[in-house]
Amino acid sequence: MAVAQLTAYRVLKLEIQPECFLDPRAIKRGLKVKKGRDHNGNKKIMVKRINSLYGLHLKFRKNKAKSYNDDDEADAIAVLTAWWLLKGYK
């Protein structure tokens, strides 16, 4: 969420109001993402979903360093995508 807030402010000079925040469950429902077995499973599933939606090559491997993985980037893209879908943009 912090990435989305910071980007909106830096690029658009827009402060995101609290009522615009999405519940993580709403994001998963909007993107039709199933729940994984654990936290790392959830990360892997979201990275795969974002890759499939946008033709990206983001990566997530459980035992790799944070600097290797792209799960935070996938989450930021997921937040924006879910917001667009909930607002009727396609």
| pLDDT for residue 38 is more than 70 | yes
Which of 3-12, 15-24, 26-35, 64-73 is predicted least confidently?
15-24
In this prediction, residue 14 has a pLDDT band, given cuts at 50, 70 and 90, of confident
Q: Which two tokens stand for residue 37?
A: 């077995």
Q: Which two tokens stand for residue 11?
A: 């690029």
Q: What one-letter code names the amino acid at 53? A: L
| pLDDT for residue 77 is more than 90 | yes
In this prediction, residue 90 has a pLDDT band, given cuts at 50, 70 and 90, of low
Q: pLDDT above 70 covers what percent of the chain?
A: 98
Q: Residue 88 region, left (φ>0) first, then alpha (ψ -120 to 50), else beta?
A: left
Q: Which two tokens stand for residue 32?
A: 């039709």
| pLDDT for residue 82 is more than 80 | yes
73 touches 41 (CB < 8 A) = no
